[in-house]
Amino acid sequence: MNKQLIFVLRISCIITLMSMIQCSDKSKQSLECSGWGDRMMTYAVQDFMPADAYAWDWAQATMLRAVADRYELGLDRDSMLNYVRKAMDVTMDKAEGIHPNAVASGFGMAFLARVTQDSNYARKTVQIYSDYRNVVRASNGGISHRDNVVELWDDTVYMISLFLIELYRLTGDEQYLREVAFQLTAHAEKLEDPVTGLWYHGWDNDDEPFDDGCSMAGWADNAGRRGGEFWGRGNGWVVMTLANTLHVMPSSMTERPALQAMFVKMVQTLTGLQDAVTGHWYQLPLYPGEAGNFIESSCTAMFAYGMTVGIADGILPAETYLPVVEKAFQGIEKYSLKKAGNHSGLTITNVCSGTCIGDKDYYFKRKVVEGTPFALGAAIMFHDRYRELKKN
């Protein structure tokens, strides 16, 4: 271990000890002392989206993943497991995987099949995987984001990887990780910028106009047939997918080095784009501080989550990335939290609403909201992984 890393870890331990001392003082009322991720989870599962109100979709799946992760980390295991079970039970008849956004929630069925050994969840998992295999694919084999037009979008890789990684955990069969790696590679072929490693939002497989009622008309009318901006949350989905895949992928798999290089290149670029004051990244990360741009908490949580996992897994050097993660954690705590719900809960603010593809001005003008399932899920996952990293 080099001297610089030892120094960083010593400083980190001192900061942690100071925080523990401060939190033992009941007069201190900081959000850090109260555990903002815990208060956010309480709000999320009790007020915002109780399990019996679960809807089978991608945004909800992101929050559900945060619940399942808490179970995996040994936190509130009984209540977390009960939440996932109820959410899957109330959607059992609606559960399917005919497009990526539907596939996402399928991880809950595979998770329960593994954890509970209940054959009902196993049968539903098999059905969802059968649906997945029939999803429309682009000319290079990438899973189409939509079923009525063939397009590759960056968020697709996260939605399908939720399910496929859980299938690997359930079965131990590396074919599911190979499929994740193949999809990341196919999407990167059309979306990745070779200079920055960041991904464009989407790519159109043909030159036929299609109005999805959300994207800016003509977004693909260019030589590359893709959107021209690197959207924050879109890249957040990719960072989380790469971190999660590398976390479970055996070192013996031949796909691993390329995915690790892709991950490292992305976070290297992102490190230099973090806002020094707020610890956030911007809606469009390449234009920090530009008029019209705004700090965006969901991509901030996603980038920081990926870096935290990367540090814990020994992929990213702590001396470089721990300060970045620390700044994001403190920034979310200071700038993007507010009280919510009936149980002293917290929600997250500064969230770009659901977004399709457009030009720079399109992204700048997206509505800023609070408390979406995907933002709550990403923030809680970051909080919990950060806390786990600080413990070790």
- R_g of the chain, CA atoms, integer Å: 20
Distances (CA, A) of 268 to 4, 53, 182, 249, 277: 19, 40, 23, 21, 19
List for the chain the helix, strand, coil content (%; round to 5).
Answer: 55, 5, 35
Q: What confidence score (pLDDT) does residue 105 get? A: 98
Helix and strand numbers, DSSP H then E, in the chain: 16, 8
Q: What confidence score (pLDDT) does residue 147 get? A: 87
Cα(367)–Cα(386) distance, integer angstroms: 29
DSSP bridge pairs for 192:
199
Q: What confidence score (pLDDT) does residue 28 get? A: 35
Secondary structure element (H or E) that encloses residue 314, with its range: none
Is residue 349 a contact partner of residue 338, using CB atoms and an 8 Å limit? yes
Q: What confidence score (pLDDT) does residue 2 get? A: 53
pLDDT in tens, the chain (392 residues): 555 444 444 544 443 444 433 333 333 344 444 489 999 999 999 999 999 999 999 999 999 999 999 999 999 999 999 999 999 999 999 999 999 999 999 999 999 999 999 999 999 999 999 999 999 999 999 999 998 899 999 999 999 999 999 999 999 999 999 999 999 999 999 999 999 999 999 999 998 888 999 999 999 999 999 999 999 999 999 999 999 999 999 999 999 999 999 999 999 999 999 999 999 999 999 999 999 999 999 999 999 999 999 999 999 999 999 999 999 999 999 999 999 987 789 999 999 999 999 999 999 999 999 999 999 999 999 999 999 999 98
Q: What confidence score (pLDDT) does residue 102 get? A: 97
103 CB-near residues (< 8 Å, 6+ apart): 97, 128, 131, 132, 135, 159, 160, 162, 163
Q: What confidence score (pLDDT) does residue 34 get? A: 44
Closest CA to 262 of 346, 197, 343: 197
Q: What confidence score (pLDDT) does residue 392 get? A: 81
Q: What confidence score (pLDDT) does residue 344 get? A: 85
Q: What are the tokens at 5?
A: 């890393």
Span between the terminal Cα atoms of the chain, in Å = 16
Is residue 366 a contact partner of residue 283, using CB atoms and an 8 Å limit? yes
CB atoms within 10 A of CB 140: 14
